[in-house]
């Protein structure tokens, strides 16, 4: 076993303190009685109550959720298709352009993606609202999904698919019965990534949304510009809580899966 020097211990402690203290402060002060956010005036959950009664926030949350579910689902389908094409289709006309268009949005500054999509929507006379945000989010999220899925497809043993085809599967059946179950974890993490990216996005949504559709980040941003407010702290706490539960569950699931896999392998080895 490696040992941690005092330097390692100090840097890990300070590093994680730096990462977590701001969020901890945010969570603690969301339970503050006072409207003044930097002065502690006793425990209270009243800001959560106010949050639940704030129509504007609730409707923004609903719009955000709708956009995230729709865009991440379409992005997962398109991104998986794109990954499959990139890894399996060999050469075809315009392949370089295709791979360029998949990688470029990953490094494109959000302000430029937002601006260019807005100019397109205005150019073709599309009314801006939920639909245009979904189009915009799908476009950049599908690129992330395709990167995640193709990294799994690259390591995937092609002969399994070929065996299925030899045994009489149609290509569609081979994909559904063999390929999809194997790449499923990557597809799911691609969907989760697309979903979070969409929930989180402020810049592209600001460009592509109209007055009829305000997402939660747009709402938070305009509130935050006026300074810190306990209501935003309460909302942040709720969001951090949801993410924390999600991430911890996911890592526990992968851990138990790993343990089970190891046990299965050991048993298989013993049986031989």
Partner 1 sequence: MRRFLLIAIPYAWLLALFLVPFVIVLKISLSDTALAIPPYTPTLDFAGGWAGLKSFFADLDLENFVWLTQDDLYWKAYLSSLTIALISTVLTLMVGYPIAYGMARAPEEWRATLMMLIILPFWTSFLIRVYSWIGILSQEGFLNQFLLWTGLISEPLIILNTKIAVYIGIVYTYLPFMILPIYAALDRLDESLIEAAEDLGCSRLSAFWLVTVPLSKNGIVAGCFLVFIPALGEFVIPSLLGGSGTLMIGKVLWEEFFSNRDWPVASAVAIVLLLILVVPIMLFQRNQQKQAEAEQ
Structure-block tokens of residue 29: 């002060």
- Least separation, in Å, of the C-beta of 4 and partner 1? 6
Binding mask 76-115 for partner 1 (x = CB under 8 A): --xx-xx-xx---x--x-x--xx--xx-xx-xxxxxx--x
Rounded to 5 degrees, what are φ and ψ at 36?
A: -75, 115
User: How far is Cα 116 from Cα 223, in angstroms, rounded to an integer?
Assistant: 26
Binding to partner 1 by residue 182, rule CB under 8 A? no
With CB under 8 A as the contact rule, the residue among 2, 127, 167, 168 that binds partner 1 is: 2
Binding to partner 1 by residue 210, rule CB under 8 A? no
Nearer to partner 1, 20 or 271 (CB): 20
Binding to partner 1 by residue 180, rule CB under 8 A? no
- Least separation, in Å, of the C-beta of 183 and partner 1? 15
* CB contact at 8 A, 143 and 78: no
CA-based nearest residue to 147, from 193, 92, 195: 193
Binding mask 148-167 for partner 1 (x = CB under 8 A): --------------------
- Least separation, in Å, of the C-beta of 83 and partner 1? 9
User: In angstroms, what CA-CA distances link 126 with 71, 111, 133, 142?
Assistant: 18, 20, 12, 22
Structure-block tokens of residue 233: 């702290």
Binding to partner 1 by residue 236, rule CB under 8 A? yes
What kind and span of H or E run contains 249?
helix 230-271
* CB contact at 8 A, 204 and 114: yes
Instruction: Please name the residue ranges forming H helices in 124-215.
Output: 130-154, 158-166, 171-174, 180-200, 203-208
Give the footprint of partner 1 on residues 48-67 (CB under 8 A): none
Binding mask 12-51 for partner 1 (x = CB under 8 A): x--xx-xxx-xx-xx--x-------xx-------------
* CB contact at 8 A, 103 and 83: no
Stretch of 42-50, 134-142, 160-168, 181-189 contacting partner 1, by CB under 8 A: 134-142
Nearer to partner 1, 254 or 271 (CB): 254
User: How far is Cα 17 from Cα 259, in angstroms, rounded to an integer?
Assistant: 30
Nearer to partner 1, 89 or 266 (CB): 89
Q: What is the DSSP letter of 268?
A: H
Binding to partner 1 by residue 8, rule CB under 8 A? yes
Binding to partner 1 by residue 255, rule CB under 8 A? yes
- Least separation, in Å, of the C-beta of 271 and partner 1? 28
Instruction: Measure the N-to-C terminal CA separation of the chain; round to a whole number of Å.
Output: 32
Binding to partner 1 by residue 188, rule CB under 8 A? no
Binding to partner 1 by residue 116, rule CB under 8 A? yes
Binding to partner 1 by residue 228, rule CB under 8 A? yes
Structure-block tokens of residue 91: 């050469």
Stretch of 48-56, 74-82, 181-189, 259-267 contacting partner 1, by CB under 8 A: 74-82
Residues 6+ apart with CB under 8 A from 243: 196
């Amino acid at each position: 076993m490696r040992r941690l020097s005092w330097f390692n211990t100090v840097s890990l402690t300070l590093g994680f303190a730096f990462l977590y203290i701001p969020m901890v402060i945010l969570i603690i002060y969301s339970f503050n009685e006072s409207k003044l956010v930097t002065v502690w005036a006793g425990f209270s959950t009243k800001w959560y109550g106010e949050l639940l009664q704030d129509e504007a926030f609730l409707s923004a949350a609903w719009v955000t959720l709708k956009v995230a579910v729709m865009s991440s689902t379409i992005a997962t389908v398109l991104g998986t298709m794109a990954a499959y094409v990139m890894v399996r289709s060999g050469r075809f006309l315009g392949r370089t352009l295709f791979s360029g268009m998949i990688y470029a949005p990953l490094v494109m500054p959000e302000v430029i993606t937002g601006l260019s999509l807005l100019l397109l929507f205005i150019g073709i006379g599309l009314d801006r609202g939920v639909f245009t945000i979904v189009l915009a989010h799908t476009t950049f999220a599908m690129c992330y999904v395709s990167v995640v899925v193709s990294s799994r497809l690259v390591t995937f043993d092609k002969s399994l698919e070929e065996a299925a085809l030899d045994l009489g599967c149609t290509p569609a059946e081979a994909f559904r019965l063999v390929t999809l179950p194997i790449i499923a974890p990557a597809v799911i993490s691609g969907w989760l990534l697309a979903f979070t990216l969409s929930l989180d996005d402020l810049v592209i949504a600001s460009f592509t949304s109209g007055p009829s559709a305000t997402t939660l980040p747009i709402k938070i941003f305009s509130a935050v510009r006026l300074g810190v407010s306990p209501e935003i702290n309460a909302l942040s706490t709720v969001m951090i809580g949801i993410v924390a539960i999600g991430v911890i569950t996911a890592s526990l699931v992968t851990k138990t899966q790993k343990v089970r896999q190891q046990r299965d392998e050991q048993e298989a080895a013993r049986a031989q």
